[in-house]
Structure 1
Amino acid sequence: MPEPARPLRIAVVAHVFFPALWPELAAYIANIPAPFTLFVTLPEGSTAEPLIRRTHADAEIRYVPNVGRDVAPFLSLYPALAAFDVVCKLHTKRDGLLHREWRLECLKGVLESRGLVTALLAAFAAHDDLLLAGAADLYLDGPRHVAGNLPMLHRLQDPLPTAYGFFAGTMFWARPALFADLAPRFPAAAFSVHRDKDGHLEHALERLFGARAATLDGIVALTRPAPAGRTVDIVPAGSGTARRFSHIYHFKLPLRHAPTAPLTHLPLGALHEAIGFIQRLQKISANRRAARRAALDASTPAGDTSA
């Protein structure tokens, strides 16, 4: 992989709502092959700081109100993030459809290996208009996935671009400048406490991050799984190349169960797309299991019948 053309000032932001998932996050963060500053946001009252310090003693830890999921804590850091060239945004995602596979695909899309991270940093160094990077399989078509967020989106930006994508799950690499005028507009007080899956400020901002990249005529790096390691494709942010998996936020579906009554309110086309998304995650999971079995077989000496 090519080395970065010039040194970049790198920040990593991790919102740790579920401390049990921190070791997993830390293992992926270890794939960053260059110096970086780690910012960790914790909900007020969290007791996770000793766990964070165990692996990253010099992390800058901020306690934040428990609103806005991972989006509000991220924006609250902007004054500090302005000093960096790139930022990797992470969080301990646990909710949502097939949450473990979704979370792992988010993480692998940005930090799967040192080689991938080196390639992404080189791309940011070489392309000043590269604004976002993440997993291609989670880069969704914005206009097709507004769900209940269209009124809020129009209040945030009007007009919206006709074509844009966004990273479902809000884990990505980005230029901090992309958020420069959003951070002061949306302090923690702008967010509300709720248990809804859609239609709130953080859900609209998730999409707006991608829409802003298109409005600024930026480009996006999309990483895709491949046998020899992830590939990186760079596309215009407004190219309309994003995937179409409608309504994936609106329900939970167990991995091995067929759709049941709670899904009957969905349009047939949306239901088919949602099932397609589930099948894609199933395939990712099966491929990972097969790779683990192959690695185990390769490491077992011939004739070894031990358990």
Structure 2
Amino acid sequence: MSASAPPVNRLRRLFIRCATRVRRALGIGSPIPVVDTARLTEGYHAHQDNPPVDPCVKVLAYYLPQFHPFPQNDAWWGKGFTEWSNVGKAQPNYAGHYQPHCPIHLGYYDLRLVDNMIEQARLARNYGIYGFCYYFYWFNGTVLMHQPLEQMLADPRVDMPFCLMWANENWSRRWDGKDDDILIAQEHSRADSLAFIRHLGRYFQDDRYVRVNGLPVLIVYRANLIPDIAETGRLWREEALRLGLPGLYLVAAQSFDITSPAPFGFDAAVQFPPHPFRQYPDHQPEVTITNPAFTGRIHGYPDVAQRFVQRADEPYKVWRACMLSWDNTARKQDGATIFKDFSLQGYQQWLSHNLNVTAHDPRLNDDERLTFVNAWNEWAEGSHLEPDRRFGYGYLQATYDAVQDHDSRWGIVPGHPWARRHDVAVVLHLHYAEVVDPLLDQIDQAFPDGQVDLYVTTTASAHGARVRQRWPQAQVRLVENRGRDILPFVEAYRQIHSLGHLAVCKVHTKHSAYRPDGERLRQGLLAPLLGSVATVQAALTRFRQDPKLGMLVPGPFLIPATRRNASSNLANLDRLESLTGVPYGYTDLAAGTMFWFRPACLSPLLTLKPQDFDLERGLADGTLTHAVERMMTSWARAEGYTVATC
């Protein structure tokens, strides 16, 4: 590029302005966006007092102790500067851009006042958050932003477990750790490493400090910047022993291309979304830029959530993390990185996924079942659990709702693999609370002698506890609210497919709240399957008499499959063909996905993994879940079985 050529971003802005003027001149509006109907109801959430919870996975939030003036900030940014100085002056960069973020509850607080930290701890506990992970700023013996941490350490009224993350990069004016205009630099050495751990000893010995397997947890933000980090970790552990501690539990944040903790000799890794930034698609063409000087990047929040949820399991211990909206316009107005289209629903599903996977991870013991949220109060990055004017306490309530579903006091915790006791089984998925008891009533009616294996997947521990009250022998698994009833069924099928049942009935809490006939629709599915003892016996007789019978579907719900009713799902049907080797037959489909089946007929389900399923996006058709629903009968026939009606 010649010296006189304009930068790419300037050309982009010029193109956007010209295109906007042409559209207006021609009377052409913006493209119609795909709307998530659930988000239309996401307004302001008022504060509420929540009952205490004791989740099987503990949630910690990253916490920035910056919101107070101190001498270095005065020198580098101006007298009295804090992060609030940037937050309050942020402006939108495009039409519909949510800026500035305005805090409520504590307002523009000052962390020199310990009462603010006491209230933050109370608020976090009320919404199911277990602890804070404070960023710690150490630069070769110089400590910054430590006054709030020192007063927290001295005041037990800040009643909140905590751990520390060493933000061990150079501090520069760019706020991204790059070596441009360095304000204070790191100087790593053996002597500095020992001084660092000795300084932290007072924190590690506090009763509130988070311990795993009895060891204080220390997270390092950029472990790859420390020369010979494995040796440094060994020095730290030895020094911890000399301080009277049992050792250290060292964790590497997955930032700036860090993945496995093994090269560092650490015990685990912890995710740090939205890192890595570069993998996300560009969404800038979807918005109308209103700031002519904008040269930043615009990505999509759903893309980040989906990437993390669908990430394959890693062959090492990793604590999962999710984020709120992320937008550093307050720090870099014209060059900001923005993740648009945040929704409380998307955040809650991401957190629910992290809780569920962590609860079932066989590599973690109970002490290690932690998950993180970015962040409690990163206001200048637009990522904060603390309430704001737009969503109010919605971020916190979404957190509580996900955590409450994993309350260990209900007794629904990861356990042993499912076992077979009878020849017949029911696989039941419970999501909608108001349908739980009616479904259990239906099963009671169909099996009054209790001679059936009841396998339950549920999105809420309370539902599982209700099942156990009525069916003590039921085998229950807690699942996330993703893939509707299909992903939970895949997980259940993986448990039971080889147990040798004659036949299994798949049912779920089909609510269809968007339809006025939802109740009648559900009963229309259930009656031919579990309507009475005679109904069940008739179905089982057919399976005994015909060893090639694979599925029995309620008559009105086995409908012809056409290109028209599959049109939204063609791409995912092709994907399933690639995964399973079975083409879509365009014969019929089991609408409502409730049916009797012989376990062997659905073995292609075993090729599917949780990572294959996207987050829920309202009631929109065209997901892998809908494609799986359409493939059930094709899979049964491909396995050599027949499909009939009941």
Contact 1:67-1:188 within 8 A present in 2 as well: no
String of CA shifts for 1:56-80, please: whole Å, max 9, x gaps. Answer: 0111010012110001001102232
Equivalent position SS for 1:132: strand
> 1:109 aligned to 508, 528, 533, which one?
528
Question: Aligned match of 2:488 in 70, 73, 78?
Answer: 73
Larger radius of gyration: 2
Q: Is contact 2:582–2:634 with CA below 8 Å preserved after alignment?
A: no
Counterparts of 2:470 and 2:461, CA distance in 1: 17
Q: Residue 133 in 1 paired to residue 549 in 2?
A: no
Question: Are the aligned partners of 2:424 and 2:452 in contact in 1 as well (CA < 8 Å)?
Answer: yes
Q: Give 1:64's aligned residue.
A: 479
Q: In structure 2, which of residues 426, 445, 456 is the aligned counterpart of residue 12 of structure 1?
A: 426
1:124 aligns with 2:538: no
Residue by residue, what CA displacement relative to the aligned partner does 1:194-230 show, whole Å, maximum 9, x if unpaired? Answer: 214311011000010011123334222312xxxxxxx
| Counterpart residue number, 1:155 | 575
TM-score for both structures, normalised by structure 2? 0.32
Report 1:37-48 matches (<5 A). 37-43=453-459, 45-48=460-463
Distance apart, 1:135 and its partner CA: 0.8
Structure 2 match to 1:210: 633
Which amino acid letter does the alignment assign opposite residue 425 of structure 2?
A
Alignment of 1:259-270 (within 5 A): none
**Do the aligned partners of 1:11 and 1:81 also contact (CA within 8 Å) in 2?**
no
Q: Does 1:86 align with 2:86?
A: no
**1:22 alignment counterpart:** 436
Q: Tell me how far 1:8 sits from its aligned partner.
A: 7.2
Pair 1:190 & 2:190 matched = no
Change (3 A) 1:121 1:159: closer
For structure 1, the residue ranges without an aligned partner over 5 or more in a row are: 1-6, 224-307
CA contact under 8 A between 2:529 and 2:535: conserved in structure 1? yes
Post-superposition CA distance 1:225-261 (Å, at most 9, x none): xxxxxxxxxxxxxxxxxxxxxxxxxxxxxxxxxxxxx
Which gives a bigger RCO, structure 1 or 2 (Cα 8 Å, sep 6+)?
A: 1
> Per the alignment, in what secondary structure is the counterpart of residue 604 of structure 2?
coil
**Structure 2: segments with no counterpart, 5+ residues:** 1-420
> For the Cα contact (< 8 Å) 1:110–1:172, is it kept in 2?
yes
- Cα deviation for residue 177 of structure 1 reads 1.4
Q: Which residue matches 1:245?
A: none
* Residue 597 of structure 2 corresponds to residue 174 of structure 1: yes
Is contact 2:604–2:635 with CA below 8 Å preserved after alignment? Answer: no
Identity of aligned residues (%): 29
- Indicate conservation of the 8 Å contact 2:456/2:464, yes or no: no
Structure 2 counterpart of 1:127, one-letter code: D
Q: Post-superposition shift, 1:163? A: 4.5
CA contact (8 A) 1:8 1:125 kept: no
C-alpha deviation, 1:9, in angstroms: 1.5
Counterpart CA distance in 2 for 1:213 and 1:50 is: 34
In 1, Cα distance between equivalents of 2:485 and 2:622: 15
In the alignment, the residues of structure 2 paired with residue 171 and residue 9 of structure 1 have an alpha-carbon distance, to the nearest angstrom, of 19
The 1-side partners of 2:531 and 2:434 are apart by: 20
Match of 2:555, as an amino acid? A
Could you say what secondary structure the match of 1:58 adopts? coil
1:60 and 1:165, CA in 2 relative to 1: closer, same or farther beyond 3 A?
Answer: same
- Normalising by structure 1, what TM-score? 0.65
Aligned mates of 1:178, 1:159 — CA distance in 2: 13
Number of residue pairs matched by the alignment: 215
Amino acid at match of 1:100: E
The equivalent position to 2:519 in structure 1, one of 100, 114, 123, is 100
Secondary structure in structure 2 of the residue aligned to 1:182: helix
Query: Quick one: structure 1 residues 212 and 134, their matched pair in 2 at CA, closer, same or farther if it must change by over 3 Å?
Result: same
Q: Distance in 2 between matches of 1:190 and 1:162?
A: 22
**Two-structure CA RMSD over aligned residues (Å):** 2.1
Cα deviation, residue 39, structure 1: 0.8
